[in-house]
Amino acid sequence: MATAETKPIDVPDARYLRSNRLSRIVNVAGIYGIAVLFIVAGAILQSLGVINNFMTTRNFLNIIDAVALLGIVAAGMAFVTYSGHYADLSVPTTMALTGIVTVELLHYGFVPAVLAGLAVGLLIGAVNAVVVGRFRANPIIWTLAMSYVTMGVIRLVWVNRQIYPDVQTDNIRTIALFDGIFRLRLFNVISLPVLLMILMMLAGHFVLTHTVYGAQLKLTGSARRTATFSGVNAERVIGIAFLIAAFAAAVGGLIITSLSRVGAWYNGTGYEFRAVTAVVIGGVTLAGGRGTIIGVIGGAFVIGLMNNIMTLIGIGTFSQDMIRGAIFILVVGINAKSLRSLGRDDA
Amino acid sequence: MNQDSPVAALEMKEVGKRFPGTIAVDAVDFEVYAGEVHALVGENGAGKSTLMKMLAGSFNDYTGEILINGEAVELHTPSMAMKHGVGMIYQELSLANPISIAENIVAGHLPRRGVLVDRAALAAEAKRLMSIVGLDLDPDLPIEEISQHEAQLVEVAKVLGTSPSILVMDEPTSALSRDEVERLFAIIDSLRKRGLAIVYISHHLPEVFRIADRVTVMRDGRRVATRDVASLTREEIVQMMVGRSVKEFYSRAERTIGAVRYRVKDLSRWGFFHHVDLEAHVGEILGVCGLSGAGRSELARVLVGLDAADEGTMELDGKVLNGSGMAYYLARGIAYLTEDRKSEGLALRLSMEDNILSSIVPRLRRGLRYDKRLGRTTVQDLVKGLSIYPTDPTVTMANFSGGNQQKVLLAKWLAGGPRVLILDEPTRGVDIGAKVIIHEAVEKLAGAGNTVILISSDLPELVGLADRVLIMRQGRFVREMSYEQCTEESLLLAANGEESA
């Protein structure tokens, strides 16, 4: 019994193991550094005459508005990824349905219509919360199915119609308010979506890092069984993550519908993948339990800038999709590899 | 037995294997002859499994020499081991569930005709192997439709398909009924007559006497002795396994044992344990002893609210516990240290600090704000008190050694100041240094007027620490032993179903 050594042999060198504050700041700052590089690249392309109108106030306002919409949706999606459940693929149809319901109900007044729209979005989130959180359905397959069901409902009920605010019966002021969701600007600069994005970013960051829920989400996302064995109600924690994602998607749905002035099934198309891309290049790993909301917003900025520059260059939509897909694969690959080289094959 | 035959089917010469912090197998000699059943016995952690994993090709860094039929071989991968005729049958079955018996048996060397699987040849080969183990079933049946016992035999047939000359069976009877065990023994007997060298690992000494020709006893990574089974008594084997009296290793501090803190009456969870009564007192370390599968961990899970009981009552300090969910029990100071450190105990990707604080997250709150700085002194005290190394609380858990991970797991539960702490194998697989520290912390916790329920297969641990030990067998408490009655021998015999004098 007394023969074995008392000192561990594999004493690790703590210098290599620390995930300290500084490295975390560098990680988050990194994505904003990339955003700055994109701006520099855009400026160089413009000075070379490859693109025009990049370095203009108008263009930057466009970029920021687009980033705001994506940033809001991605900030919500980040909670699902952080919880270890990859992504909520029902985001696009949640956005579309929220918009459609809101426009349909505008004649009851602006506030009731918006609340009803958000409620419908949250309802989809609640179903996801129960099915994935409690019944442990595979999140990707389930939310994909949910997306199809919602799309079916939209097409069945509204028979492919696009829903316009009805100028005949709706109050003109109500319509103006709805249009204003996207168009209202404080001091003629900061739009409501940008304000909402900043609010979501601060609130999301606070929730993740400074609340009991955030600490429980981190534990659940890192090791679900361990969380359960620590007295955490993992079902509830995961469910709330899906509710947050659905709420963010619903807000995004209001903005995109206000932008296009029409409620339609195709509003939100592609936002699930764009949001996950922002989440992942923003530093939230697909394995869960790691990353920051501020990083995710940075990821949204990078995507917004990239889209803008590609469009200005004249790259087609399909090619853009291809490039975004390639970047996603690259980032996930690098992430997996760097984690594996640290001896953790759980990226 | 064929001991007079010139070469052993298997000869391991001074083999050794180190793990971080411990030497699991230390210069062991071990030889098995064709046509013998050779039992390998020892307490948990004695090195039996490591020795057999070495043989199965699980390690590429063992020391010493392995000879098969007199020829030196290197067994660095499972496929090398298989090529040299080593067949392994593990406690947990490795059968693929939705597919048929035949496909499971012949998996790995499917007969082909062109690019297609030759179904007729497949069925014939499966039939041939099944007949060796006495299985008369339709080879096309899916695995999920056959019994545990039949699945075990399918596993044997599958291994026989690789034509092994050495067959290792690790606790093959743990999931079988008495009749099924007899049938398995008949098959082992016929395999012995076919000239296989069989290594039989078991905790159940009666089985060793029933089936084995020779026995090798291991303790603390070393071979104690190899003898003919016929020349030994059960008590002699136990004596060799245990080797020493442990009571003097534990400097036992006097504890005052008070009133009943946790009382359990007639508690059952169908299929796992039945009609369990238990009274754990203030300041007491109550041991629970039993072989794996006796229902110990299942009982613990109910005691802390992870599972619901089917019947029975639980009381803490005279108040009935009627809430559900672990959080309810945790809020009342009842905590559970799981036996599965890696997947249930710790979040290996998080920092040491996050892990220690994970059991008290709801308490680290200032208004709405969660603030883990509130737990900083708790973490510092525990790191110091348990000599956790490295001491930096931000180091990721995966980078700690096994012993230090286990100390962090204990720290996680000590952080909340538990009034009843249930420990499930608290020192399994840790080095001796960590073990001593954990034991001291447990004694201190009990000494401070808390209650500890210690579930362990580590007999010296139970004998040294526990004030009383309850023996659990097949889901029931069958016996209680006081500290004075407790010796490793008496516990081991009782857990085996052998009442000692």
- What is the tens place of the pLDDT at every residue in A148-170? 999 999 999 988 677 787 766 66
If one compares B71 and A159, the residue with the highest pLDDT of the two is B71
Task: Tell me if A14 and B396 make a contact (CB, 8 A cut-off).
Answer: no
Amino acid B498: pLDDT: 61
pLDDT of B156: 86
Of the two residues B38 and A10, the one the predictor is more confident about is: B38
A12 close to B (CB below 8 A): yes
Nearest CB to B365; choose among A5, A14, A212: A212
- Hey, which residues 283-312 in chain B have their CB within 8 Å of chain A? 306
Secondary structure (DSSP) of A83-152: TT----TTHHHHHHHHHHHHHHTGGG-HHHHHHHHHHHHHHHHHHHIIIIIIT---HHHHHHHHHHHHHH
With the C-alpha atoms ordered A293, A85, A70, A203, is the resulting torsion angle positive or negative? negative
Q: How far apart are CA A329 and CA A280, in angstroms?
A: 10
Minimal C-alpha gap between A51 and chain B (Å): 45
Helices B148-160 and B119-132 pack at an angle, to 10 degrees, of 110
Q: Which residue type, as a one-letter code, is found at position A119?
A: A
Q: Does A159 touch chain B (CB under 8 A)?
A: no
Reported ipTM: 0.85
Contact predicate A238/A129, CB 8 Å: yes
pLDDT at B7: 81
Q: Which pLDDT score, from 0 to 100, does residue B244 have?
A: 57
Total CB pairs under 8 A between chain A and B? 146
Interchain contact B275–A (C-beta under 8 A): no
Q: Which residue has the higher pLDDT, B152 or A267?
A: A267
CA distance linking residue A51 with residue A43, whole number of Å = 9
Q: Which residues does B360 contact at the CB level (< 8 Å), separation at least 6?
A: B375, B378, B415, B416
How far is B490 from chain A, CA to nearest CA, in Å?
20
Residue-wise pLDDT tens digits, B112-145:
777 777 888 888 888 888 888 888 888 888 887 8
pLDDT band at A272 (very low <50, low <70, confident <90, very high): very high
E strand spans, A21-95: none
Q: Which residue has the tokens 């426009």?
A: A103
Chain B residue nearest residue A10, CA to CA: B20
Residue B247 confidence (pLDDT) above 60 = no
For chain A, the farthest-separated pair of C-alpha atoms sits apart, in whole angstroms, at 91
H/E element, B451: strand B451-455
CB contact at 8 A, A135 and A128: no
Among candidates B220, B368, B403 on the partner chain, residue whose Cβ is nearest the Cβ of A8: B403
Nearest alpha carbon to residue B82 among B145, B166, B138, B17: B166
Mean pLDDT in residue range B97-125: 79
| Interface contact A211-B368, CB threshold 8 A | yes
Name the percent of chain B lying above pLDDT 70.
93
Q: What is the pLDDT of residue B151?
A: 83
Whether B231 and chain A come into contact, CB under 8 Å, resolves to: no
- Measured between CA atoms, how close is A331 to chain B, in angstroms? 20
- What contacts 24+ positions apart, CB below 8 Å, involve B458-461? B458/B43, B458/B44, B458/B45, B458/B425, B458/B427, B458/B428, B459/B43, B459/B242, B459/B246, B459/B289, B459/B488, B459/B491, B459/B492, B460/A1, B460/B242, B460/B246, B460/B249, B460/B488, B461/B427, B461/B435
DSSP lists the bridge partners of residue B424 as B455
Contact of B326 with chain A, judged by CB distance below 8 Å, is answered with: yes
Q: Give contacts of A17 with chain B, Cβ < 8 Å.
A: 390, 392, 395-396, 399
Class of residue A233 by CB neighbours under 10 A (exposed 0-12, middle 13-18, buried 19+): middle
User: What are the residue ranges of helices labelled H in B349-431?
Assistant: 352-357, 376-385, 402-414
Q: Within an 8 Å CB–CB cutoff, is residue B370 touching chain A?
A: yes
Q: What's residue B432's pLDDT?
A: 67
B6 pLDDT higher than 80: no
Alpha-carbon distance B63 to B501, whole Å? Answer: 43
- Which pLDDT value is given to residue A255? 96
Q: What is the mean pLDDT of chain B?
A: 87
SS3 for B3-21 is: CCCCCCCEEEEEEEEEECC
Contact predicate A272/A92, CB 8 Å: yes
pLDDT band at B486 (very low <50, low <70, confident <90, very high): confident
Contact state of B370 with A6 under an 8 Å Cβ cutoff: no
User: Rounded distance, CA A277 to CA A306, Å?
Assistant: 12
- Which pLDDT score is estimated for A15? 42
Question: The dihedral of CA B288, B289, B294, B296: what is its sign?
Answer: positive
Test the B interface: residue of A5, A220, A229 with most B CBs within 10 Å: A229
Residue A248's pLDDT is 98
Strand partners, B201: B40, B170
- Cis ω for the linkage preceding B390 (within 30 of 0): yes
Look at residue B282 and tell me whether its pLDDT is greater than 80.
yes
- Torsion region of A312: left, alpha or beta (phi above 0 gives left; psi -120 to 50 gives alpha): alpha
pLDDT 10s digits, A292-347: 999 999 999 999 999 999 999 999 989 998 998 998 888 888 877 766 554 443 43
Rounded-to-integer distance, Cα B377 and Cα A233, Å = 26
String of b and e for A251-266 (b: at least 16 CB within 10 Å)?
bbbbbbbbbeebbbbe
Chain A positions touching B433 (Cβ under 8 A) are: 4-8
Confidence of residue A41 (pLDDT cuts 50, 70, 90): very high
B488 vs A189: CA distance, rounded Å: 80
Distances in Å between the alpha carbon of A33 and those of A43, A63, A295, A298, A329?
15, 17, 11, 9, 20
Of A6, A219, A287, the CB nearest to B433: A6
**Chain A residues near residue B400 by CB distance under 8 angstroms:** 12
Give the Cα-Cα-Cα angle A50, A53, A56 (nearest 5 degrees).
140
- Total residue length of chain B: 501
CA B437 to chain centre: 22
* A102: closest CA of chain B, how far (Å): 33
Structure tokens at A303: 């995507």
| Alpha-carbon span A28 to A283, nearest angstrom | 7
Mean residue pLDDT across chain A = 87
Instruction: Please give the distance of CA B153 from its chain centroid, rounded to a whole number.
Output: 22
Query: What residues of chain B lie within 8 A of the CB of A9, using their CB?
Result: 18, 20-21, 401
Asked if residue A286 has pLDDT above 80, the reply is yes
Least Cα distance to B213 among B189, B237, B190 occurs for: B189
The DSSP call for residue A170 is S
Q: List the structure tokens of B51.
A: 């020795």
Q: Point out the least confidently predicted range of A89-93, A115-119, B21-25, B259-263.
A: B21-25
Q: Are B43 and B219 in contact (CB under 8 A)?
A: yes
Tell me the pLDDT band of B501, cut-offs 50, 70 and 90: very low
> pLDDT digits over A224-256, tens only?
999 999 999 999 999 999 999 999 999 999 999
Between B247 and A61, residue with greater pLDDT: A61
Yes or no: say if B341 and B405 are a contact pair by the CB < 8 Å rule: yes
Half-sphere exposure of A295 (CA within 13 A, CB side): 23
Q: List the single range of B230-244, B341-355, B386-400 with lowest mean pLDDT.
A: B230-244
Specify the range with the lowest mean pLDDT, choosing from A37-46, A81-90, B243-252.
Answer: B243-252
Q: What confidence score (pLDDT) does residue A256 get?
A: 95
Which among B203, B217, B196 is positioned nearest to B171, based on CA atoms? B203
Is 50 exceeded by the pLDDT of residue B500? no
Mean pLDDT of B145-161: 83
Maximum mean pLDDT: which of A203-217, B128-142, B195-209: A203-217
Confidence class for position A4, pLDDT limits 50, 70, 90 = very low
What's the CA gap between B72 and B11, in Å, rounded?
A: 9
Q: A11 falls in which pLDDT band (50, 70, 90)?
A: very low
pLDDT for residue A29: 74
Beta strand segments in chain A, E:
185-186, 190-191
Predicted confidence (pLDDT) at residue A189 exceeds the cutoff of 70: yes
**Cβ(B450)–Cβ(B419) below 8 Å:** yes
A223 vs B: CB within 8 A? yes
Residue B311 to chain A, least CA–CA distance (Å): 22
* A18 against B38, higher pLDDT: B38
**The domain made up of A52-336 is a member of CATH 1.10.3470:** yes
A222 touches chain B (CB under 8 A): yes
Q: Show the domains of chain B with their CATH numbers.
A: 10-242 (3.40.50.300), 260-495 (3.40.50.300)
Name the residue among A1, A11, A230 with its Cβ closest to that of B249.
A1
Q: Which residues contact A121 (CB under 8 A, 6 or more apart)?
A: A94, A95, A97, A98, A246, A247, A249, A250, A253
pLDDT at B438: 94
Domain ranges of chain A: 52-336
Q: What is the pLDDT of residue B458?
A: 81
